[in-house]
Homo-oligomer: A and B are copies of this chain.
């Protein structure tokens, strides 16, 4: 993390130009709004036009389209392996939570009650008035069921039966699931009523072990964000105001989007003994005494898709890091009238494809004959495919191909001989370059700010502001009211943040800078 002051970062901004939306689904040229014209619209546009997701007929719920889902599957594969490598197992717990369970942990219910989908009946019947079906009033549930907004309560009610002695601990479970939070304002991937996620729920014999788990998992997320998503993140603790409902500590990874807004990309919670107490989960420790179990939970969701899109995309579309691209190389034949030449080109491409696949690289040959190469180029750029290989009749004669890299849009000509190695190296280079670019942008966007006047001005420019804070929720609340900025985290990197100073707002003494930003 570099903390150079960047006086005038040129963030991509704006929420105007709503009239530029391109809505016609049949528009052949899939133009995307420019980021500089309207970043927010660029995002919405891109999600739909790159075939990642779309709004459904159900309020706030999205349809994740095959191409978008393929990226999510890549993310799942990597994360699942990371979880298993750190000793976790998958399991599955019920979709529904009895209403009374939610109430058991006071802060928890407070945090989720206002956005719950509630199941009240279990049957429909023919409308006596003849209009389709209506809810059968005789099929009212004795106790309402909540569609899980998160699963701490149902899981801790289950763990109660799994734990008797210290020998039963730790329990290290994860589940991949859908959850529902009835958000009023939704955006594809970033905030939807239903979303997909994983939620880890662990149970430990000691506080220390649970705290270590909390830290371990936030670091797994940071590792994933940096090394697979190519998104730099700041790891830190949430301030009490921003903690998960029911947690003693919430750790977070915070990323910066190209418009200068922060995005919380994953959280890991130390839950203390709150849920063990609420669900009466005790164990006999090695000394033979009864104790409450210590807990953590941690999750990332399809929101990561939003982070991926916004961190790297450009005005031509998505820019996918090779490690998460469903198609890493697309081959576009530049065909002509000579069928023999066309077939020879496709044969060559087939042989390249085999070579690349043997290296574990995924390849698509776009041999559709109803579309011009230029159209195909634009489509695969829109979809963020890292490397494009094009080849025409002259290339065939010369033994060459043309490679285009999506991140820089540079083209270059190469000998066919050894092309698989060239492409493999290029993919690595693109992965590093995307990260380096995002890191440079992020680092240039972190500024130390020491006066309230400066803060109010700087925060409108976007980016992370590293400032002193007096540690009180009241001050945080007032800063939010006046500027919309929140404390994204109290970074763990003490070398950078520990420093005596005075609170930017109250002027009271502070021993540590924290990270402010306006966030998604």
A contacts, CB < 8 Å to B: 25-26, 54, 56-58, 61-66, 69-70, 72-73, 89-103, 109, 113-126, 132-133, 135, 144-147, 154, 157-158, 161, 164, 167, 173, 177-178, 180, 182, 194, 196, 370
State the number of copies, please.
2
In the complex, what residues of B have CB within 8 A of residue A196's CB? 92
Q: B121 and A103: CB pair below 8 A?
A: no
Q: B154 and A133: CB pair below 8 A?
A: no
- Residue pairs across A and B with Cβ atoms less than 8 A apart, 15 shown, are A57-B98, A57-B157, A58-B154, A62-B94, A66-B89, A66-B90, A69-B91, A70-B89, A95-B178, A102-B133, A113-B125, A118-B119, A118-B123, A118-B124, A120-B135
Q: B118 and A114: CB pair below 8 A?
A: no
Least Cβ distance of A443 to chain B in Å? 35
Q: A123 and B114: CB pair below 8 A?
A: yes
Least Cβ distance of A134 to chain B in Å? 8
Give the distance in Å from the alpha carbon of A182 to the alpha carbon of B122 in the complex. 6
With CB as the reference atom, state the residue of chain B lying closest to A112.
B124
Main secondary structure of the interface of A (DSSP, over half): mixed
With CB as the reference atom, state the residue of chain B lying closest to A57.
B157
Least Cβ distance of A286 to chain B in Å? 12
- The residue from B61, B92, B145 contacting A95, defined by CB atoms under 8 A apart: B61
Least Cβ distance of A113 to chain B in Å? 4
Give the distance in Å from the alpha carbon of A196 to the alpha carbon of B94 in the complex. 10
Give the distance in Å from the alpha carbon of A139 to the alpha carbon of B180 in the complex. 16
With CB as the reference atom, state the residue of chain B lying closest to A56.
B94
Q: A113 and B123: CB pair below 8 A?
A: yes
With CB as the reference atom, state the residue of chain B lying closest to A368.
B167
In the complex, what residues of B have CB within 8 A of residue A123's CB? 113-116, 118, 182
With CB as the reference atom, state the residue of chain B lying closest to A126.
B113
With CB as the reference atom, state the residue of chain B lying closest to A160.
B57
Give the distance in Å from the alpha carbon of A99 to the alpha carbon of B326 in the complex. 36
In the complex, what residues of B have CB within 8 A of residue A92's CB? 63-64, 69, 72, 196
